[in-house]
Structure 1
Amino acid sequence: MTKGINQKLKMLYLENIFQRETDDEHGLTLQEITERLNKDGVNADRKTLYSDFAELKKYGLDIISSNGGRNCTYHLGNREFELAELKLLVDSVQAARFIPDKKSHSLIGKLEKLVSREQGKSLQRQVLIAGRVKTLNRSVYLTVDKLHQAINAGVQVRFHYTRWNINKELVPRNNGNWFQVSPWLMILSDENYYLAAYYEKAGEIRHYRVDKIKDLQLLQDLPREGEAAFRKLDIPQYANIHFGMFNGEQTEVELKVQNEKVGIFIDRFGKDIMLIPQGPDTVSLTVKVDVSDQFLGWIMALGEGVEICSPEWVREKMVQEARRILQVYK
């Protein structure tokens, strides 16, 4: 038997065939395996394949034969990841707001390669379930990685911090000046990544949304500060106070919002919300929310410049909540 042009790569091609083309529901006959190897420039016969299978089993591949006789098929059994485990990972990638849509599809495509092509189709179908607002900052996953590097190295960082304007553009805060902080912790909450960092000028721990961080730089010559403040921090309590989800009766609510607070709503509900100017300083917008005590409290926490316009029952609910709070503190 003449050798193929890629004969030295035979075992690698063979492993790839088992990994990508077989699973518990899909096996290949010796003839089919031989044909696939031939396409890759590798020659093989029945006797050498038996020997190759034995070597791959020694290497750790769970190659299983079934049916017997001439109709015997071979497939890969146990894998490093079970299909159910990969589905969990796919769901996590898809749900993460800090990962842009394009990167989500790229990561899921890589996860698909850990199972057979047929099983990979079931992972891809889960992508179509999505419909969540994703970050518009395509470099956010790189920012997360650099922040972890800074935390592990124990050094300070600086960056430009941005906000949304009424034109749905990210513009610099603080007149474009640098924010310089000591990073201590990454917090994943409400489908967003946050950096908890010590701000030396205020002498306290503050948090920053990672997808709003631009031009991140590690300051390798400046050791991190604020260890005492960080050690005093009750992390679960901090997360509960600063990051919250709310559940209740879902409905469309129209609000009147001052221009400088529009970014808060874009952050939570996405860039597709319609902004209708209501004069030089305010816009109206409609969002679908879960009307609950937490939602009303969130609106109150925004302070002046945010008003619920409709529906009337939500306005009345806010009035009742305001009266309740007034009675408590009267």
Structure 2
Amino acid sequence: MPRGSNQKFKFTYLTKIMTEKTDDEHSLTMPQILDELKKYEVSAERKSIYEDFKDMERFGIDIIKEQKGRETFYHIAGREFELAEVKLLIDAVQSAKFITQKKSKLLISKVKKFVSEYQAKQLQRQIVINDRVKTMNESVYYNVDDIHTAINQNRKIKFKYYKWDIDKKLVERHGGIYFVVSPWALLWDDENYYMIAFDDWDNKIKHYRVDKMMYIEVGKDERAGKEEFKNFDMAKYSKATFGMYHGDKTKVCIKFTNHMCGVFIDRFGKDTIFRKTDENHSELVVDINVSPQFFGWIFSLGNDVEIVSPKEVVNELREYTKKFMLKYELIRGEL
């Protein structure tokens, strides 16, 4: 048999063919495999294909042989990612606000290569890049890479931080000065990406939206905040911070009717301790970064939930409610 022009790539092309064109529901006969190789200008004999299959198995690619009537079929069994896992990855990419529409489509096209072309068609029915709010900052990928570099090298970073103005333009915060902080972690919360860092100017832990950071530079100075982050619990930080808004951390006691317990388990986890106060009510004590966003969450739960203590937070909520109601009383009076 004459050798094809791409003969040295036979094993590579055979792996590609079996990966793309076979799965648990789709197989190829030996003649079909040889025909597929010819498309890549590769010639082969059956015996050499059998040897290649053995080599594939040494690389962790299992080839299943099945007899159906007079014909023998071959397909790949099991993959690095199962179809359900790839669907999950695609859902994550679609829901992430910090990934642009353009990058979402590019990432999804790459993720689809983990499955066969037949399974990819199933995924195509699932993929809908809809009108979800997405960042317009294409540099997010590189921002994340720079932040990881700084963390791995134990270095501070500097960057400019932006916010939206009424004209829907990103404008520099604080007159365009560079923020200099010590990055320690990255957190995905409420569909956005945040950098958790120590600001030694204010001597406190802060967080920043990665898609609002620009012109990042990894510095030469070593990071500060080692002691503050020694026992830092990312999960607790996320649970205590509503909408990732800053606030003074306080132990807050919340009373609720028992049928509302699922709301608090969903928010604070199954390890949350409930204390029964009567037949129909219970309390829990949690660390909260007290902010208007936290009060808004409490309002949304209705009359079945009540902040019991500390007194300062109860008074703050009372004043916040008064101002909120007064505003609408004034509006009603103007109508």
Are the equivalent residues in 2 in contact too, given 1:3–1:42 (CA < 8 A)? Answer: yes
Shift in Å at residue 114 of structure 1?
1.3
1:244 deviates by 3.4
Measure, in 2, the Cα distance between the counterparts of 1:132 and 1:99.
11
Classify the secondary structure of the residue corresponding to 1:195.
strand
The TM-score with structure 1 as length reference comes to 0.71
Show CA shifts across 1:40-61 (max 9, x none): 1111233433333333334432
State the AA in 1 paired with 2:226: E
| Partner residue in 1 for 2:3 | 3
- Which residue of the partner structure matches residue 263 of structure 2? none
Q: Would the aligned equivalents of 1:190 and 1:243 in 2 still touch at CA under 8 Å?
A: no
Residue 60 (str. 1) matches residue 57 (str. 2): no
Go from structure 1 to structure 2 and tell me whether the alpha carbon gap of 1:212 and 1:324 turns closer, same or farther (over 3 Å shift): closer
> 1:19·1:76 contact (CA, 8 Å) conserved in 2?
yes
Single out whichever of 134-143 and 231-240 deviates more from structure 2. Answer: 231-240
Whether the 8 Å contact between 1:100 and 1:136 is mirrored in structure 2 is yes
Q: CA deviation at 1:39?
A: 1.3
Deviation at 1:131, TM superposition (A): 4.2
* 2:214 matches 1:177: no
Counterpart of 2:87 in structure 1 is 87
Query: Any conservation in 1 of the 2:90–2:108 contact (CA below 8 Å)?
Result: yes
Contact conserved, 1:189 with 1:243, CA < 8 A, in 2? no
What is the aligned partner in structure 1 of residue 215 from structure 2? 215
Gaps of 5+ in 2: 245-291, 300-316, 326-335
RMSD: 2.9
Residues 58 and 69 of structure 1: CA distance in aligned 2, closer, same or farther (over 3 Å): farther
Partner in structure 2 of residue 297 of structure 1 = 296
Measure how far apart 1:101 and its partner are: 1.6
Deviates more, 1:118-127 or 1:51-60: 51-60
- Give the corresponding residue for 1:128: 128
Decide which moves more: 209-218 or 187-196: 187-196
**Cα-to-partner distance string for 1:145-186 (whole Å, 9 max, x where unaligned):** 211111121111000000101111101111111111111221
The Cα of 1:320 is off from its aligned counterpart by: 12
Kindly tell me: are residues 138 and 243 of structure 1, through their superposed partners in 2, closer, same or farther at Cα, counting changes over 3 Å?
Answer: farther
The 5 Å alignment of 1:1-330 reads 1-68=1-68, 70-128=70-128, 130-219=130-219, 221-231=220-230, 233-244=232-243, 297=296, 322-323=321-322
Distance 1:97 1:208 in 2: 15
Residues 159 and 55 from structure 1, CA distance in 2 versus in 1: closer, same or farther, beyond 3 angstroms?
Answer: closer
Aligned to 1:312: none
Q: Do the aligned partners of residues 115 and 322 (structure 1) sit closer, same or farther apart at CA in structure 2, a change above 3 Å counting? A: same
CA drift at 1:127:
2.2
> Tell me, what secondary structure is at the counterpart of 1:136?
coil
**How far is 1:324 from its partner?**
11
Residues 51 and 238 of structure 1: CA distance in aligned 2, closer, same or farther (over 3 Å): closer
Q: CA deviation at 1:319?
A: 11
- Once the two structures are superposed, residues 12-70 of structure 1 have per-residue CA deviations (whole angstroms, 9 ceiling, x without a partner) of 11111000111111111212111111111111233433333333334432111223454
Is the 1:159–1:180 Cα contact (8 Å) retained in structure 2? yes
Task: Name the SS for the 1:103 alignment partner.
Answer: helix
* Residues 101 and 129, structure 2, Cα contact 8 Å, conserved in 1: no
Name the CA distance, whole Å, in 2 between partners of 1:296 and 1:203. Answer: 27
Give me the whole-angstrom Cα distance separating, in 1, the residues matched to 2:160 and 2:71. Answer: 65
> Given that residues 98 and 135 in structure 2 are in contact (C-alpha distance below 8 angstroms), is that contact kept between their aligned partners in structure 1?
yes
What letter is aligned with 1:244? G
CA offsets, 1:241-281, max 9 Å, x none? 33339xxxxxxxxxxxxxxxxxxxxxxxxxxxxxxxxxxxx
Give the aligned partner of residue 274 of structure 1. none
Letter of the 2:296 partner, please give it. G
Distance 1:236 1:72, change over 3 A: closer
Aligned length: 261
How big is the shift at 1:130? Answer: 4.5
One-letter code of the match for 2:229?
Answer: F
The 3 A distance-change label for structure 1 pair 22 and 224 is same
Structure 1, unmatched stretches of 5+, are: 246-292, 301-317
Rounded Cα–Cα distance in structure 1 between residues aligned with 2:80 and 2:132 = 30
Q: 1:323 to 1:108 in 2, by over 3 A?
A: same
Matched-pair identity in %: 46
CA distance, structure 1, for counterparts of residue 190 and residue 164 of structure 2: 19
CA distance in 2 between counterparts of 1:45 and 1:294 reads 69
Q: CA shift at 1:298, angstroms?
A: 6.9
